Chains A and B, each alone.
Chain A
Amino acid sequence: MDRPLRIVVAKAGLDGHDRGAKVIARALRDAGMEVIYTGLFQTPEQIVQTAIQEDADGIGLSILSGAHMTLFPLILDQLKAQQAEDIVFFGGGTIPPEDAEALRERGVQAVFTPGAPLQEIVDFVNDACGKRRALVG
């Protein structure tokens, strides 16, 4: 790969729990990726705009406030509206198993719940975003 993968790590809504997002951001950076951390309280529109402007390969969304069934789909809608569905969209947080399953069905490529090993997340991002890069260039 010529240039490193670029990943937007995002926090949406009013949720201030940023420990997980920051740990993931560092782990991806340590794995050689370029990480753009949005900071807190971003709207779905802002997050997708950031990903497009930064030419990101993936968006990782962290939600621990319980608003995941609202905010994940809003980002999916935005990706669709902006014709940016090739961007790999994944996330994690305090998400009950059946909600995680429902989100995967709706198009979120991976949902990581508390206790997921960092390496598993790094491997997923490398793999999924690597494939996207191969297709989109």
Chain B
Amino acid sequence: MMDRPTGGGQPTPEFEAQQAAWEAASAKGKPRSGPGSGATDRTLSDIPLKTCYGPADIAELDLARDLAWPGQYPYTRGIHPNGFRDRLWTMRQFAGFGTARQTNERYHFLLAQGQMGLSVAFDMPTLMGYDSDAPHARGEVGKCGVAIDSLADMEVLFEGIDMGKITTSMTINGPAAIAVAQYIAAAEKKGIPRAMLGGTIQADILKEYIAQKEWIFPPRPHMRVIVDMIQFCTEQMPKWNTISISGYHIREAGSTAAQELAFTLADGFAYVEACMKAGMDVDSFAPRLSYFFNAHIDFFEEIAKFRAARRIYARRMREKYGAKDPKSWQLRFHTQTAGCSATAQQPENNIVRVAYEALSAVLGGTQSLHTNSMDEVLALPTEKSVEIALRTQQVLAYETNVTNVVDPLGGSYFVEALTDEMERQAEAYFAQIEEFGGVIEAIEAGFFQKEIADASYRYQRSVESKDRVIVGVNHFTRDEERGDMDLLKITEETEREQAASVRAVRESRDANAVAKALGRLKAACADPKDNLMPHLIDCVNAYCTEGEIVDTMVSVYGRYTERSVF
């Protein structure tokens, strides 16, 4: 009878001899030179890498404490016991351009192609609280997303779509509470009660000050608006995820993976603290917080980031905030592939980048996914390119079989060591943020902005020096770009049409009702005890425009101005 093989990761003398031999052989290697060679020993985020990882790198790992099994605290291996076997991630393509009518057509197209949820992209004036006929809106209407000026546009946006069945994510931050009010009002006009509405709203204003820069009010009053919204949705919309806290834009602004992880979770904890301070029980709202991360091109680093995010979150929610409901410990997240990794040169290559990035999100256990279209670095995507992006997810979900085993990289020496390193770096950032006195104080001191600007400049320098290779940009370039790609054009006609339509709304409504609703809203803004949401719903039902509502709120709260650091 043979001896039972030695297991449990205990290095035997034979194994140790093998290790010594490998180390000797490895030391004789000659590092390659030339483009890309400067980045062979660190991740995209500058984390130093070993040539190969082994049992010693996870010697500190406590299986029960740090890993457990899928669906078990601290959820390193995922929040569902069966991963994607029970339920695939939601394929949710972010879309919006031009008028509500044009975007509604795109939604019908995407749903017909097998997309599972909607995700609304708004244009810059809508994101910043300006109507389409405002001077600030010139040149921007319908360009980065769809223009929504009033409830009338929201009604058109969801025409022919069953709002009681579909889930919708809305990416809007400054005016998030207004967009929720419009969504509720549009559904209720169709006879669908707010309690039936499912989806989420980005509403994460802290990351606006940190990275995306689409703020309206200063941080402190903005936090009040968000807490009001979370409280209202917690009570009245049981299927709604009250806020999506986003690292995506932090990464796009140039942060490292660890910064994205740390700053996003720090923002999340700031909302948790604000809600608890407003008297809410942590388990009443925490189960419906959700997160949004970037999937960049450094494959393993991203997987480690997702795994670390779940573990850090679970630990803090349970240990620091005293949450008792396991749902409060579980970090659920949406992922989008990295727009900043896409290149304008040889744009078809972006299809390949997106596929790898999407795979990292899936192996990291994402709950929903947006795959970027190859042409998004040049313009909003065409129907053809958005279809390829969606098909990329479908190939991943149905052909590759990566969905059959949960957390397939769990136990990998490398991935576990990198997951630990991510957690360590995030904890170091939390300590720094605490020294400032909190997230808002760190924003006011320009801390995040400076950290991100430094990281993005370091990265750009490494590309310039060709330490890092970007195919088609600094290596394997073509003399002549083909330039034969069809691009989606948003014309000035869209701007004129939308400006005319918002003027028509203003002329056709009951002016008296508008004035009254805005008056009540203004009074509520000045009274911290009066939840703003019912007043916002009254305003949108009276067809107040977004610009009017925002102006009313600005008259109480003011507009934010940033001290710029570069």
A34 interfacial contact with B, CB 8 Å:
no
B402 interfacial contact with A, CB 8 Å:
no
A31 interfacial contact with B, CB 8 Å:
no
> Which candidate, A10-18, A52-60, A126-134, is the interface stretch facing chain B?
A10-18
Given contacts A19-B456, A96-B487, contact A39 B564 (CB under 8 A): yes
A97 interfacial contact with B, CB 8 Å:
yes
B138 interfacial contact with A, CB 8 Å:
yes
Which residue of B has the minimal Cβ distance to A113? B344
Contacts of A113 in B (CB 8 A): 344
0/1 string, A50-88, CB within 8 A of B gives 1:
000000000000000111011100100000000000000
Q: Contact at B253–A18, with CB atoms within 8 Å?
A: yes
B343 interfacial contact with A, CB 8 Å:
yes
> Which chain B residues (252-275) contact chain A, with CB distance < 8 Å?
252-254
> Which chain A residues (90-137) contact chain B, with CB distance < 8 Å?
94, 96-97, 113-115, 117-119
Given contacts A70-B138, A70-B139, contact A18 B213 (CB under 8 A): yes
Which residue of A has the minimal Cβ distance to B253? A19
Q: Contact at B214–A16, with CB atoms within 8 Å?
A: yes
Q: Contact at B564–A115, with CB atoms within 8 Å?
A: no
Q: Nearest-CB distance from B462 to chain A (Å)?
A: 12
Complexed CA–CA distance, A18 and B453 (Å): 9
Contacts of A16 in B (CB 8 A): 208, 212-214
- Tally of contact residues, A, Cβ under 8 A: 36
Q: Contact at B474–A96, with CB atoms within 8 Å?
A: no
Contacts of A33 in B (CB 8 A): none
**Which has the most chain B C-beta neighbours within 10 Å: A74, A114, A119?**
A114
Contacts of A13 in B (CB 8 A): 124, 136, 138-140
Given contacts A13-B140, A96-B379, contact A114 B344 (CB under 8 A): yes
**Which has the most chain A C-beta neighbours within 10 Å: B128, B130, B212, B213?**
B213
B418 interfacial contact with A, CB 8 Å:
no
0/1 string, B457-496, CB within 8 A of A gives 1:
1001100100000100110000001010001001000000
Contacts of A71 in B (CB 8 A): 139
Instruction: Pick the contact of A22: B340, B378, B566 (CB < 8 A).
Output: B566
**Which has the most chain B C-beta neighbours within 10 Å: A17, A25, A66, A74?**
A66
B47 interfacial contact with A, CB 8 Å:
no
Instruction: Pick the contact of B125: A14, A23, A39, A69 (CB < 8 A).
Output: A14
B127 interfacial contact with A, CB 8 Å:
yes
Complexed CA–CA distance, A114 and B463 (Å): 13
Q: Nearest-CB distance from B52 to chain A (Å)?
A: 34
Q: Contact at B377–A66, with CB atoms within 8 Å?
A: no
Complexed CA–CA distance, A14 and B142 (Å): 13
Q: Nearest-CB distance from A38 to chain B (Å)?
A: 8
Which residue of B has the minimal Cβ distance to A64? B144
Contacts of A17 in B (CB 8 A): 213, 252
Which residue of B has the minimal Cβ distance to A66? B143
Complexed CA–CA distance, A52 and B490 (Å): 33
Complexed CA–CA distance, A23 and B127 (Å): 25
Instruction: Pick the contact of A23: B124, B130, B457, B483 (CB < 8 A).
Output: B457
Contacts of A19 in B (CB 8 A): 252-254, 340, 456
0/1 string, B521-541, CB within 8 A of A gives 1:
000000000000000000000
Contacts of A21 in B (CB 8 A): 566
Q: Contact at B378–A26, with CB atoms within 8 Å?
A: no
Number of A-B contacts (CB under 8 A): 105
**Which has the most chain A C-beta neighbours within 10 Å: B377, B483, B566?**
B566
Contacts of B138 in A (CB 8 A): 13, 67, 70, 74
Contacts of B562 in A (CB 8 A): 39-40
Q: Contact at B252–A14, with CB atoms within 8 Å?
A: no
Contacts of B380 in A (CB 8 A): 66
Contacts of A117 in B (CB 8 A): 464, 474
B137 interfacial contact with A, CB 8 Å:
yes
Q: Contact at B377–A23, with CB atoms within 8 Å?
A: no
Which residue of A has the minimal Cβ distance to B139? A70
Contacts of B461 in A (CB 8 A): 118
B345 interfacial contact with A, CB 8 Å:
yes
Q: Contact at B128–A14, with CB atoms within 8 Å?
A: yes
Q: Contact at B464–A115, with CB atoms within 8 Å?
A: no
Complexed CA–CA distance, A124 and B464 (Å): 16
Q: Contact at A40–B457, with CB atoms within 8 Å?
A: no
Contacts of B378 in A (CB 8 A): 94, 96
Q: Nearest-CB distance from A125 to chain B (Å)?
A: 16
Which residue of A has the minimal Cβ distance to B377? A114
Which residue of A has the minimal Cβ distance to B481? A97
Contacts of B481 in A (CB 8 A): 97
**Which has the most chain B C-beta neighbours within 10 Å: A15, A35, A96, A115?**
A115
Q: Contact at A66–B144, with CB atoms within 8 Å?
A: yes
Complexed CA–CA distance, A55 and B100 (Å): 45
Given contacts A19-B253, A113-B344, contact A37 B143 (CB under 8 A): no
A-B contact pairs, 14 of them (CB 8 A): A14-B124, A14-B125, A14-B136, A15-B124, A15-B140, A19-B254, A19-B456, A21-B566, A40-B564, A65-B140, A66-B144, A66-B490, A94-B379, A115-B470
B interface with A by C-beta (< 8 Å)? 124-125, 127-128, 130, 136-140, 143-144, 208, 212-214, 252-254, 340, 343-345, 377-380, 453, 456-457, 460-461, 464, 470, 473-474, 481, 483, 487, 490, 561-562, 564, 566
Q: A14-B124, A37-B566, A119-B464 are in contact. List 15 more A-B contacts (CB 8 A).
A: A14-B137, A15-B140, A19-B254, A19-B456, A23-B457, A26-B457, A38-B564, A39-B561, A65-B124, A66-B144, A69-B139, A96-B487, A97-B483, A114-B343, A114-B344
